[in-house]
Amino acid sequence: MPEEDKPLARRCVVVTRAAEQASELAERLGTLGAEVLLLPLVEYLPPQDSGALDRALRDIGGFDWLLLTSQNAVRFVAARAGSQHVDLGAKLGPSKARPKVAVVGEMTERAAIAEGWRIDRVSSGHGAIDLARELGRQIEGCRVLLPRSDRATSQLPQALTAAGATPVEVVAYRTVPSGNVDTAILERIERGEVDVVSFASPSAFLALGERLGAETFRRLAGAARLAAIGPTTAAAIRRAGFDVTIEAEISTAAGLAAAIATHFSKNSATGGKHT
């Protein structure tokens, strides 16, 4: 397909994902014809205190379920287990009855399988709350290990408790603002030279607001479309009083790229900023 006929030709899309997670989305958007600006706004670090995570890993067989809500959870749990000489590949292998392993989304599933872990359940919905609802009676009376970010909300533990489970939360990683942000891209955003700013997490959205300031961020929202990878991110944007123009139906990089392309394909004839 000629470049000018691609759905995102002459469109500029900002990708705010952490650097280690941005490549797939950037490549898909580029294939669709977009000019892609990489602006990682958050990064992920080990916890300042890994004591609770270490104890949970040593006692992994004492849990009925392990719930993994992101690739980051898989990555940091696996890294910490390795440093503590805990063989999760053996403890979560196909011959083990417990804990059962449930994950949110295709990318989390891939990351867990790459570690050699058995997967018993993949959420068919958009997020962690959907997974808790889908598990329903299967987790009633169960002890559930929940390794997450230090910035994770209380919604999932509450949903698990409401289902009759006993969630055990441990901090597997920290989400912090990126220390190295490309000011040239920020300036392009401020000048209204981008068509879409995409977000894959509430923390990235909040980090951009902190970087730009309230007044500039409001102006940005009037000049560019805000795109969210799924309902959790979209809800955070709306709670802050902003519109979400584009929301992926499937919470993956592929789903977000497709949603952005579909938006412009459907509205190419109007030429408006927020059509």
**Residue-level pLDDT at 20:** 84
71 token code pair: 């690739």
Instruction: Report the predicted TM-score, pTM, of the whole model to 2 decimal places.
Output: 0.84
**Residue-level pLDDT at 66:** 96
Question: What is the DSSP secondary structure assignment for residue 20, as one 8-state letter?
Answer: G
94 token code pair: 């196909």
**Residue-level pLDDT at 273:** 46
**Residue-level pLDDT at 230:** 86
Dihedral of the alpha carbons of 227, 254, 160, 61, in degrees to the nearest 10: -140
**Residue-level pLDDT at 134:** 87
Reported as a single tens digit per residue, the pLDDT across 217-226 is: 888 877 899 9
Question: Among 49, 137, 144, 164, which residue's Cα sits nearest to residue 101?
Answer: 144
Bridge-partner residues for 68, per DSSP?
A: 103
User: Could you give the count of Cα atoms lying within 13 Å of 88 in the half-sphere of its Cβ?
Assistant: 28
Pairing mode of beta strands 42-45, 166-177: antiparallel
Segment 132-148 shows an average pLDDT of 92
Question: Among 102, 88, 96, 202, which residue's Cα sits nearest to residue 146?
Answer: 102
Reported as a single tens digit per residue, the pLDDT across 89-124 is: 888 877 666 799 999 888 889 999 999 999 999 986
Which DSSP string corresponds to 125-153? SSSHHHHHHHHGGGGTT-EEEEEEETT--
Which DSSP string corresponds to 71-109? HHHHHHHHHHHHHTT--HHHHTSTT--SSEEEESSHHHH
91 token code pair: 């403890």
End-to-end CA distance of the chain: 25
* Residue in this structure with the two tokens 């030279």, named with its chain if needed: 193
**Residue-level pLDDT at 142:** 96
Bridge-partner residues for 12, per DSSP?
A: 35
Segment 60-81 shows an average pLDDT of 95
**Residue-level pLDDT at 133:** 86
Question: What is the DSSP secondary structure assignment for residue 21, as one 8-state letter?
Answer: G
Q: Where in the chain is the domain with CATH 3.40.50.10090?
A: 3-41+178-267, 45-176
Distances (CA, A) of 114 to 71, 75, 189, 225, 263: 11, 10, 37, 35, 33
The larger pLDDT score, comparing residue 65 to residue 5, is at 65
| CATH class of the domain defined by 3-41+178-267 | alpha beta
Distances (CA, A) of 85 to 58, 78, 147, 207, 256: 9, 10, 18, 35, 37
Which CATH code for domain 45-176? 3.40.50.10090
**Residue-level pLDDT at 111:** 92
Q: Is the peptide bond before 147 cis (omega within 30 degrees of 0)?
A: no
217 token code pair: 């961020």
Instruction: Return phi, psi of residue 12, to 5°.
Output: -115, 125
* Residue in this structure with the two tokens 């910490």, named with its chain if needed: 80
Reported as a single tens digit per residue, the pLDDT across 154-206 is: 889 999 999 999 999 999 999 999 988 999 999 999 999 999 999 999 999 99
Q: Using CB atoms within 10 Å of the CB of residue 56, give its burial: 0 to 12 exposed, 13 to 18 middle, 19+ buried.
A: buried
